């Protein structure tokens, strides 16, 4: 008998939901961590004796082949100090690298028990430290970060780290990893020198401070004067004469007022300008100086 597709969906939907729910429950039950009390009891009763019988010949404190010392792990407390060791142990067990082929081998049941315990322990450790990034290493700014920070704070692209040693890359290939960013005495001295050079660009003001692109006081004063003259040049045409003597700076500057817009205003509004009180209004509309327009 052939059922319509809609009826099949109504019949199969509850079955599929039940199967998925059962699989999720089984998966969550399988992933649920065992308590450390149970893991510790299993370690004392089964795992530690297996390690003493089959592993300490090569991985004792005295020999420690492969930098693996299992003798110091006399209890679960010592075993929990470095979970990465057990990741290594599980890898070697599953790949048949431990015990070595020339050594006495674990029985199938013993190997299964040891591997199951390691998985159970690592699972419990993972759940216990879920969300914890681990030890956070104190780090400094990398050279590029330091340069960018100084540029953003002072608006001067001085690149003080040109005298610094190059940042070394860690195992991940990044130069800003905390473990690879050492601070040697020589580098600390370079930081102090860079700070003094940056501070030399500081100009004290009555209400604070600013940063200048130059360090000499006279140049810092001229820098402000040049900004004022630049603003003045937006409205006037600067004429510069070189002096051979008699002037401290060796140059004189004055401005010429652009007469064209004033003449145009005089011609366009000549009738209105005859009436008193219209000069200020016309100058404001045309963006002109009312005093100078009034004189003209």
Per-residue pLDDT of 26-82, as tens digits, reads 444 456 788 899 999 999 999 999 988 888 888 888 888 888 888 898 899 998 988
CA distance 255 to 295: 18
Task: Provide mean pLDDT across the span 260-280.
Answer: 90
Q: How far does CA 11 lie from the centroid of its chain?
A: 54
Query: Could you tell me which residues come within 8 angstroms of residue 1 by beta carbon, excluding any fewer than 6 positions away?
Result: none
Per-residue pLDDT of 190-211, as tens digits, reads 999 999 999 999 999 999 999 9
CA distance 43 to 52: 12
The pTM score is: 0.41
pLDDT at position 27 is 44
Per-residue pLDDT of 10-27, as tens digits, reads 545 554 455 445 544 444
Task: Provide mean pLDDT across the span 226-248.
Answer: 62
Task: Provide mean pLDDT across the span 242-270.
Answer: 69
CA distance 74 to 48: 7
Domain boundaries, the chain: 36-128, 143-203, 216-256, 260-295
What integer best gives the mean pLDDT of the chain?
81
CA distance 220 to 204: 11
Percent of the chain with pLDDT over 70: 81
Residue 8 confidence class, pLDDT cut points 50, 70, 90: very low
Contact 51, 85 (CB under 8 A): no
For residue 159, the number of C-alpha atoms closer than 13 Å in the C-beta half-sphere is 2
- Judge if the upstream peptide bond of residue 295 is cis by omega within 30 degrees of 0: no
Residue 251 confidence class, pLDDT cut points 50, 70, 90: low
pLDDT at position 24 is 44
Provide the pairing of β-strand 202-205 with 251-256. Answer: unpaired
How wide is the angle at C-alpha 228 spanned by C-alphas 266 and 293, nearest 5°? 10
Per-residue pLDDT of 105-157, as tens digits, reads 888 899 899 999 999 999 998 888 787 777 777 888 999 999 999 999 999 99
Query: Could you tell me which residues come within 8 angstroms of residue 170 by beta carbon, excluding any fewer than 6 positions away?
Result: 177, 179, 180
Task: Provide mean pLDDT across the span 96-104.
Answer: 84
Interior/surface letters 247-267, b for 16+ CB within 10 angstroms, e for the rest: eeeeeeeeeeeeeeebeebee
Task: Provide mean pLDDT across the span 87-106.
Answer: 87
**Nearest partner of 123 among 27, 49, 50, 54, judged by Cα:** 27
């Amino acid at each position: 008998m052939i059922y319509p597709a809609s009826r099949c969906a109504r019949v199969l939907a509850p079955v599929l939901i039940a199967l998925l729910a059962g699989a999720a429950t089984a998966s969550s039950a399988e992933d649920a961590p065992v308590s450390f009390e149970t893991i510790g009891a299993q370690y004392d009763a089964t795992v530690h004796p297996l390690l003493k019988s089959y592993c300490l010949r090569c991985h004792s404190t005295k020999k420690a082949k492969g930098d693996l010392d299992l003798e110091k792990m006399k209890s679960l407390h010592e075993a929990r100090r470095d979970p990465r060791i057990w990741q290594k142990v599980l890898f070697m067990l599953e790949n048949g690298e431990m015990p070595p082929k020339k050594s006495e081998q674990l029985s199938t049941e013993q190997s299964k028990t040891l591997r199951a315990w390691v998985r159970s322990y690592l699972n419990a450790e993972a759940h216990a430290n879920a969300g914890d990034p681990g030890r956070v290493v104190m780090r400094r700014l990398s050279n590029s970060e330091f340069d960018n920070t100084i540029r953003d704070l002072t608006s001067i692209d001085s690149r003080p780290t040109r005298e610094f040693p190059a940042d070394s890359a860690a195992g991940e290939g990044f130069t800003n990893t905390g473990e690879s960013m050492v601070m040697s005495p020589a580098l600390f001295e370079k930081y102090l020198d860079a700070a003094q050079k940056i501070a030399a660009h500081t100009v004290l003001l009555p209400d604070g401070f600013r940063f200048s692109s130059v360090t000499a006081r006279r140049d810092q004063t001229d820098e402000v004067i040049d900004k004022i003259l630049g603003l003045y040049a937006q409205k006037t045409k600067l004429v510069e004469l070189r002096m051979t003597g008699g002037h401290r700076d060796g140059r004189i500057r004055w401005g010429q007022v652009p007469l064209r817009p004033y003449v145009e205003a005089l011609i366009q509004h000549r009738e209105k300008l005859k009436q008193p009180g219209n000069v200020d209004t016309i100058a404001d509309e045309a963006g002109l100086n009312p005093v100078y327009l009034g004189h003209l």
